[in-house]
Chains A and B, each alone.
Chain A
Amino acid sequence: MESDVVIGLEVHVQLNKLNTKLFCPCPISYHQSEPNTHVCPVCLGMPGAMPVINKEAVKAAIKVALALNAEVQSFTVFDRKNYFYPDLPKGFQISQYDRPLAWGGYVTIETESGEKKIQLKRIHMEEDPGKLSYKGSITTAKYSLIDYNRSGVPLLEIVTEPVMNSPKEARLFLNKLRIILEYLDVFDGNLEGAMRIDANVSLKGGGRVEIKNISSFKGVEKALTYEITRQRNLLRRGRKVVRETRHFDEVNNITVSLRSKEEEQDYRYFPEPDLVPIYTEELINEVKNTIPEMPEEKRERLIKQYKIGDNFAKVLVLDINMANYFEEVAKLVSPKLAASWVVDVLRGELNYRDWDFKIAYEKFKPEEFAELLNHLQHEKITEKGVVEVIRTKLDEGGKVDEIIKNKGLFAIVKDEIEKICKEVIEENPKAVEDYKNGKKQALNFLVGQVMKKTRGKAKPAETAKIIQKLLQ
């Protein structure tokens, strides 16, 4: 239906799990710091200061490139991208141009019509500029303030080929990319500004439009949806879609023209003379063995190792913390039980509270969760009881067994039900007689008596079966 739509993305990813900036020893953690405290002559662009490459950043970048199946180049060069902006203290950004870290690669996404490989064009390293902020809003503020704490934070730019055909595919790609980056332990997607996206979109017969600097996945989907409608309407009315750069207004969910093709800047790229080319062979060897199991491999292994369904495995690998949590639980109880309770119930309860499995690790340890499921496996608690324990544990804390005891959630074991059934039979000879004479309602009465005695903890169907067996 939307096959006339072509989308390509440029994704800027902060390697925000590193300790220091790309070209100086300043700490990269800027979210909690006073403005302009994590700065030095290098990231402030003071005259005479020189950049020195952070090897750990290159290693992290190589790790990502390898995990995205890209071809890491044997040597790679930094270039200067020249433009004037107050958040750019040197008047140029150190980036990469015609010798990027890696070419190619792909990310597999799962669409409604099956798997799709999103081909990548290139992956390169660059430094983040500083950050402009405004007292009040950008439109009413009388001046801009600049925080250079972000200046020099290592960024990866991941560029896709124009191969996505719908805003939804774009979102699926970004989700998958985020999962992979988090698996590699180089990226924390929860931090503000961790991933910023430029989206290119065109319709058959129209010019390519670039939407700049979108800061959320939802924003990408919304901006693209708006933009496709806008372009489609123009084409339908016989008007031209001009090649231009647009800005996404996140408040009104619309895109606004920034500049046309003629006004595009000439960045006058040339090799950064203060840095030497990086030869990657040794670094690749160092990094190669540190790449953990990726989502696809993990999915296959979970199915094979734990004999769980793909419907569960597929969901488990979406979050490495969830997959790890599951595996810890599955070591202690039936893996199938673990999979269904982790995926279907625990995940839902966490989502409901806007939490993730990192929080689950704190609030409800996998061993405790296994203990709870163990009770279920041995029928010491009903499914309803399990849900109640999960909720209580997440909201109020406490020990699993104590919650069960305090709330009276321990299910009555089979032997005990049988004993109560026998008592009920003895105490109600009339009903027994009626039943034997073919009165079906008598059985219901007897089951009701058992339920009464167990205060509802016995399962009615099971109880009926036991009584029937005893009266045979």
Chain B
Amino acid sequence: MEMLTIKSWKERLESEKAYDLISELFEKIEKSKLNAYITLNKEDALKKAEDFDRGKLKGRLAGIPIGVKDCITTKNLRTTCASKILYNYIPPFDAHVVERIKEEGAIIVGKTNMDEFAMGTTTETSYFGVVRNPYDLNRVAGGSSGGSGAVVGREAVLALGSDTGGSIRCPASFCGVFGLKPTYGFVSRYGLIPYANSLEQIGPMASCVEDLIALFEVIAGKDNRDSTNAGKEFKFERKDRKLRIGIVKEMTADDKVMDKFYEVVEQVKSKHHVGEVEMPSFKYALAAYYIIAMSEASSNLARYDGVRYGYALDKLDSWNRYFSKVRAEGFGKEVKRRIMLGSYALSAGYYGKYYLKALKVRTLVKNDFARAFNEFDLLISPTMPALPFKIGELADPLTMYKMDVNTVPINLAGLPALSIPIGFVKGLPVGMQVIGNYFDENTILNFALEVEQLLN
């Protein structure tokens, strides 16, 4: 199936009305079996399409339909984080990235499905049901940005996701699209409902590199409302040069995926130098990642107490009983598990043993990457250790956590990484992860353009 791109969409806009195209898109979504959207923005989107037709919608993304992950706040448009506890929450403000895409004329199609509070690798923890893989409806689309991965090129041209430990790259890989987790601090997190603040970034997802660049250029940049924002803008520059590329030995996958990965590596070798690099700290990375993420989550999710917004109870009993009941009924199983583990890791007597130790591992991971980038311009690996799972296949939480093994070290270090679709095994997509140095998205995207051409 031909995927939607900015270019193809614009070509159609030359001869057809945006209103008709957007209407047609909604018809398709309403018939879709993917379950990729939680809330549709139909009325507003059609109004925007009319604006476009009247020449009133301008900007770099004018008229382009986009899906926005449901943990990114949208003013007056329901934002649930795929949780019952926010099932009726309508934010009073737009996230920075939403302001940016609106300013550039993008049309928000709806809020995409995800794992509850982004806690998952398969979008199976969503209160609103699982997202199905576009290549096999019995399989997952990945997570946590599963909805965004599934809609890109199909039920929207572009999508925004967020990536705490692989949540953009995993669904990109499983859905055969491009997904970039930017350098920490490149994109403002203002309006991203936090799961683990120190790890996550909002990032673009697209069906081709050109579109990915276009969306990234729009969302990256300065925002004073996020104190961790670096204040840097992004402008892509095409550079053609021989790169030193390192395969990370610790980041592997099953044989089917590895065969495909090396098949592409062989092609890459024709132009670039390819070597191998060892990262000894990575054996602790997954544990450290989950301790930090769950610790931060346990605190971030404390605000959902049924007092100011979201799921509430009619009867107010004592305060302790009230908020406990709201949270018991409002949160799903996986979210509760992570809150409990995170609270435990932060509690007196265990803080040093878990949280502080995890921070030390984080430093080791950064040091390993720093060493690797002395030797290489880019590092590569398979994005996911396996092909898209069958729905329900990862019943055991620990098995699911382990599927993040290739993606989490990047978040611990705050580096940028992109998942590139490199082909299919048994009809299921495979992704290659390309990791760059801090704020060196330009090199990653140049390489991605080459791989894209190579495989076409």
Contacts and interface: CB of A to CB of B under 8 A. Distances in A.
Given A48-B95, A48-B194, A50-B225, A90 B303 contact: yes
B348 to A, nearest CB: 5
Contacts of A270: 295-296, 299, 346, 351, 355
A270 B296 CA distance: 8
Given A82-B299, A84-B323, A86-B305, A49 B93 contact: yes
A81 B264 CA distance: 50
Given A268-B299, A270-B355, A48 B193 contact: yes
A268 B347 contact: yes
B192 interface: yes
A48 B92 CA distance: 11
A273 B355 contact: no
Interface in A20-60: 41, 44-53
B439 interface: no
A397 interface: no
A84 B303 CA distance: 8
B227 A46 contact: no
B86 interface: yes
Interface string A176-198: 00000000000000000000000
A266 B349 CA distance: 10
Contacts of B343: 268
B227 A50 contact: yes
A276 B316 CA distance: 38
Given A48-B91, A50-B190, A268-B343, A273 B296 contact: yes
A80 interface: yes
Contacts of B72: 48
B307 interface: yes
A89 interface: yes
B139 to A, nearest CB: 31
A46 B305 contact: no
B191 A86 contact: no
A51 B191 contact: no
Contacts of A92: 299, 302
Given A47-B86, A48-B191, A273 B198 contact: yes
Interface string A373-411: 000000000000000000000000000000000000000
A41 B73 CA distance: 12
B197 interface: yes
A207 interface: no
Contact of B308 (A44, A49, A85): A44
Nearest to B320: A84
A352 interface: no
Interface in B299-357: 299, 301-305, 307-309, 316, 319-320, 323, 343, 346-348, 351, 355
B226 interface: yes
A146 B225 CA distance: 26
A426 interface: no
Contacts of A53: 227
Nearest to B200: A273
B252 interface: no
A91 interface: yes
Contacts of A44: 308
Nearest to A84: B323
Interface string A251-282: 00000000000000010111001111000000
A274 to B, nearest CB: 5
A50 B189 contact: yes
A80 B305 contact: no
A428 B378 CA distance: 122
Contacts of A146: 307
A49 to B, nearest CB: 7
B346 A268 contact: yes
Main secondary structure of the interface of A (DSSP, over half): loop
A270 B345 CA distance: 11
Contacts of B92: 41, 46
Nearest to B316: A143
A48 B192 contact: yes
Interface in B196-228: 196-198, 224-228
B62 interface: no
A434 B79 CA distance: 110
Interface in B166-210: 189-194, 196-198
Contacts of B91: 46-48
B234 interface: no
A276 B299 contact: no
B101 to A, nearest CB: 16
A46 B303 CA distance: 8
Contacts of B89: 47
Contacts of A90: 302-303
Contact of A47 (B193, B295, B298, B320): B193
Contact of A80 (B73, B191, B192, B299): B299
A369 B189 CA distance: 60
Interface in B100-151: none
A62 B145 CA distance: 44
B202 to A, nearest CB: 11
B81 interface: yes
Interface string A280-297: 000000000000000000
Nearest to B327: A84
B197 A274 contact: yes
A49 B193 CA distance: 8
Interface in A296-323: none
Residue of A49, A84, A90, A268 with most chain B CB atoms under a 10 A cut-off: A268
Contacts of B323: 84
Nearest to A274: B197
A142 to B, nearest CB: 10
Nearest to A23: B227
Contact of B227 (A48, A49, A91, A276): A276
Contact of B228 (A49, A84, A276): A276
Contacts of B194: 47-48, 274
Nearest to A143: B316
Contacts of B73: 47-48
A91 B193 contact: no
A86 B307 CA distance: 7
Interface string A65-86: 0000000000000001010111
Interface in B19-78: 72-73
Nearest to A45: B303
A244 B121 CA distance: 46
A51 B323 CA distance: 24
Contacts of B93: 41, 46, 48-49
Nearest to B86: A47
Contacts of A51: 227
A266 B347 contact: yes
A91 B190 contact: no
Nearest to B342: A268
A276 B184 CA distance: 13
Nearest to B324: A84
Interface string A134-150: 00000000010010000
Given A90-B303, A92-B299, A273-B296, A47 B81 contact: yes
22 contacts: A46-B309, A47-B79, A47-B86, A47-B193, A48-B93, A48-B190, A48-B192, A49-B190, A50-B227, A51-B227, A85-B319, A91-B301, A91-B303, A268-B343, A268-B346, A268-B348, A269-B346, A269-B351, A270-B346, A273-B228, A275-B227, A276-B227
Interface of A: 41, 44-53, 80, 82, 84-86, 89-92, 143, 146, 266, 268-270, 273-276
Given A47-B81, A48-B93, A273-B198, 9 more contacts: A45-B308, A46-B309, A48-B91, A50-B227, A53-B227, A82-B346, A92-B302, A266-B348, A273-B196
Q: Top 7 closest A-B pairs, CB basis?
A: A91-B302, A273-B197, A268-B346, A273-B198, A47-B193, A48-B73, A48-B191
